[in-house]
Structure formats: structure tokens, C-alpha cells
Amino acid sequence: MIFSLAWRNVWRSRKRSLVVIGAMIVGVWSLIFIISFYNSFYVGFSNNGVQYEYSHLQIHHPDYLTDPNINWRVQDLDQVSARLERMESVAASSYRQKIPGMIASAKTSAGVEIYGVDTEQEAATTLLSTLVVDGAYFEGITRNPILVSRKIANKLKLKIRSKVVLTFQDLDQEITAASFRVAGIFESKSPRINEGVVYVRQSDSERLIGGNGIHEVAILLDDAEDMDEVKHALVGVTPSTVRTYRDIAPEFSLMEQSSATTQRTLTVIIMLALLFGIVNTMLMAVLERTREIGMLRSIGMHRGKVFRMILVETLTLGAIAGPVGLALGYITVQWLGERGLDLSRYSEALQEYGYDAIFYPEIENLTYFGLMITVLITAFVGSIYPAIKAIRINPLEALRKL
């Protein structure tokens, strides 16, 4: 009957209870929306980083990291290659030559990093082949084709089939130059690649630098969860440095941490707001029932039971609001997760930071469970002060008010 009494007491002041329940529902819903939106930011940023720029893992000669010189090539490449082929979790890998150099058109020149790639490997490892917005992916030009970004093309006033000259040092430290024709213009999601990377065929870059060493192995996995496992497996194969994309670009970890911190902070702020609402509501409920609680105490209701009654009433508010807020949040996330949240009006600014214009909010199932627990804990904490007030009611003083 305590539960039945608590349930009926909740609805004794229907409007007041509905207001606090409504506030809790809105709080839980908005928290889910914000968390899922933050997740979409992070996941989108992270996916773009993996798909367009870093892949999951990269291997470099240890000295290449401090001095990106073409002489620092990945060691024991055959063993690395053999190991990668045996690993089921590896979806694709791209073996790249990376040569610092200059690109020059008839109008101007710019410093770039020349990626000599196996076109099939690169297409399987990154989304480069899908990013070509003008021309074709290494097609249409038979001799020395090159892919340049839209940004470089604009800067150097390049069009498809425009001629450019790449200048760089070969393995003998001699300055060498070769002319290329633009086969395709791409738009990457990576600001760094848009800014200063051009792609040529590896057969061409090998011929021009006078050697076939590989400076970077990029590895794409089927599941990012396997990243550390694959990394450890490769560390035993080559003395070269194996790094995850998080090791390479600390901004991913930083963003993940700041996203988690922001989510936690928002959760605390929203729950604090709810806490004050709950305390206020329950305090009013207790003060309104001073006489009744005094009567209950005088006929033999122990303080513990009075405390429990107020606690159950408050938890009932949370138990109603929590699932409704979660359900609304779940529906919202599912709906937006399928359709996406279109922020294309800010697409230029977002692109500058490596984001897509459309975000797909997502949230882990465990987060719903965690939020439900958080709501109940908030309700529990919110019940303590009113419950203490209730058990401190002196039955005699309460009865004198009769």
C-alpha cells in the first residue's frame, strides 16, 4: 500500500507533478539529443580522418617522423606485406611514396607533398577515387597523370589536361623535375590534403626519384576495435614505427575527451536543474501535508517509513519521466540518424575543419541505460532533503495545527 499511496500522492497535485515530470522528460530528451549530436560530430570527424586521410594505422621509418626525407623508407616491407595479407581484420592497405616538392603551373607554384600511389590500393584504402569532381581517377591521360585538389587547381589556375611541373630531390639528392598533366581534380574532406597533397602513379614517382622504396603504409581495418591488436602484431614484424590514427593526430583523442567532458558537464547541469525542480516540488508536497504526516507519525508510522514514502513518491516521478524522455530521445535519434541533420548552410566553415555538412546523430544503447540510472539517482538525491523535512515533522506540533 506504500507504493499505492505514493503513486496516488504523486497525482494528488496533478498539475504540479505533470510540470516536474514534463521538465524531466524535456531534460532527458534534450540530453540525449545533445549527446547524440556531439557523437555525430566526433564520429563524423573521426570517420573522415580515417577514410580520407589517415586510415586506421600507418607505418613509417622512425626517422621519417622527425625528418620526412625520401631516404627514410619503411623497413622489412616484405614481412609487413606478408603479415598484413594474413590478417583477416585488414580490409585494405596502400603503400605510398611521399616526396616533398614543388608544383608549378604557367601562372604560379606551390609547395606540395607528392603521393606516389598504387591507384588500386589507394582506391581500396581511401575514398580518393570517389572524391574526383572533375576529370577522372588517373584516366584520360596516359603519360604522367596527376590528381590535384580543387584548392590547388584554383590557386595554380589548373583545368583538366593542364600541364604542371613537379620539382623535387631524387634519391641521389639531385634536383629533378618532370611534367604531369591533370587527370582529375578532387575535393577531399581533409583540409591538409586539400591544402598541399597531389597524387601521382607510383610507377611514375619510382622512375623519377630513381628507386622503389615505400615511405608510408596506410592500413584500413574492417573494425576500428581491432586497431590496437593489429598494431601490436605489426610492431613485432618491423622496426618501423606503427601508429594508429589517434597516435598520428592527437586531435582525435582530444576531441573525444573534450566531447566526453562536455557531455558529462551538460549532464551534470541538466540533472542539477532537474534536482532543484524535484526538491522544490517534493518540498511543497511535504509542507502541504504537514498535518497528514503528523497524523501518520502519531498513529504509529515510523520515521523510516515516512522517509521511504517520500522517496518512493520522488522515484515514481523519475520512473515515469525517465522512460518517456528516453523513448522520445530514442525516436528522435533514430529519425535523425536515418535522415541526417542538414547543416549545409554552414558547410564551408564545417569543411574547413574536416566535417561533413550532414550529421547523423547516434548514441550507444548503454547511454540510455546510464541516463535512466542518472535520472533515478537524481530523483533519489532530490528526495533526501524533503524526506528529512518530513521525518523531522513533530507529530504534536503538526496536530496542534489541526
Partner 1 sequence: MAVIEAKNVSKVYNPDKIPVRAVDDLSLKIEEGEFTAVVGPSGCGKTTLLNMIGGLDHPTDGRVTVGGEAIDQLTEAQLTDFRMHNIGFVFQSYNLIPVLTAKENVEFILLLQHVPKQQREDRAMELLRKMGLEEQADRRPSELSGGQQQRVAVARALASKPKFILADEPTANLDSHSTEALLDLMAKMNQEEKVTFIFSTHDQRVIEKARRIVTLEDGRILKDESR
Q: Which residues bind partner 1 (CB under 8 A)?
A: 1-2, 5, 8-9, 11-12, 291-292, 295-303, 305, 395-396, 399, 402
What's the min distance (Å) between Cβ of 1 and partner 1? 5
The residues with which 230 forms a beta bridge, in sequence order, are none
Q: Which is nearer to partner 1, 155 or 303 (CB)?
A: 303
Distance of closest approach, residue 252 Cβ to partner 1, in angstroms: 56
Measured from the CB atom, is 119 or 281 closer to partner 1? Answer: 281
Q: How far is the CB of 292 from partner 1 (least distance, A)?
A: 6
Count CB-CB contacts under 10 A for residue 237: 18
Q: Which is nearer to partner 1, 9 or 202 (CB)?
A: 9
Minimum CB distance to partner 1, residue 18 (Å) = 16
Please check whether residue 32 is in contact with residue 64, taking contact to mean a CB–CB distance below 8 angstroms: no
Cβ 390 to partner 1 shortest distance, Å: 14
> Please, which residues bridge with residue 135 across strands?
184
Q: Quick one: which of 137, 73, 134, 123 has its CA closest to 94?
A: 123
Q: Which is nearer to partner 1, 79 or 298 (CB)?
A: 298
Q: Which residue has the cell 614543388?
A: 102
DSSP 201-265: EHHHHHHHHT----SEEEEEES-GGGHHHHHHHHHTT-SSEEEEHHHH-THHHHHHHHHHHHHHH
At its nearest, how many Å lie between partner 1 and the CB of residue 9? 6
Closer Cβ to partner 1, 269 or 399, answer by number: 399
Beta bridge partners of 163: 181
What is the rounded CA–CA span in Å between residue 59 and residue 231? Answer: 9
SS3 100: strand
CB nearer to partner 1: give 11 or 346: 11
